[in-house]
Amino acid sequence: MKRSHLWLFVLGGGVFCLFDQYLKYMVRHVWTTPHYVIKPWLGWEYLANPGIAFSLPLPNAILIITTPVLLLLLAIGLIYYYRQNNFFAAASLSFIILGAISNFIDRILFSATIDYLRIFTGVINIADILIVLGAFGLFFSSWRQVPSTE
């Protein structure tokens, strides 16, 4: 991956982050009733998740304090991978950072993460998808180093 392609990933992740915030606004204010493609397994449903992944309980105050520290560490990792010309890992970290920022905004504003996509037994949002895609990208980038072509 070329250096210039990294910015496309960051820009694309930023667009998804903004789209996620838009959908969170819509689920809270406009599309408030659940809608299902396959009831109750696949659809649109509002859920304010006060916990972390898989609704594991953790006090919001701890999350508000620790999230910026984790974001800073992830940003340092992004810079490191960028300087090492591992742009796939850097792009993956940018997805994780942008997804975490979107969920962090919810934590500050609502003391919970706003989820809206019902998939089987869970309710997730686009920020969660960005985080998972970034984690998979990091896993695969550590498996196989992609040589840089400049």
120 Cβ contact list (under 8 Å, min separation 6): 41, 42
Every domain of the chain and the residues it spans: 3-143
pLDDT one-digit tens code per residue, 10-61: 777 778 888 999 999 998 889 878 888 888 888 988 888 888 776 677 888 8
Q: Are 134 and 93 in contact (CB under 8 A)?
A: yes
Q: What is the CA radius of gyration of the chain?
A: 17
- The pTM of this model reads 0.82
63 Cβ contact list (under 8 Å, min separation 6): 52, 107
pLDDT at residue 150 is higher than 60 = no
pLDDT at residue 4 is higher than 80 = no
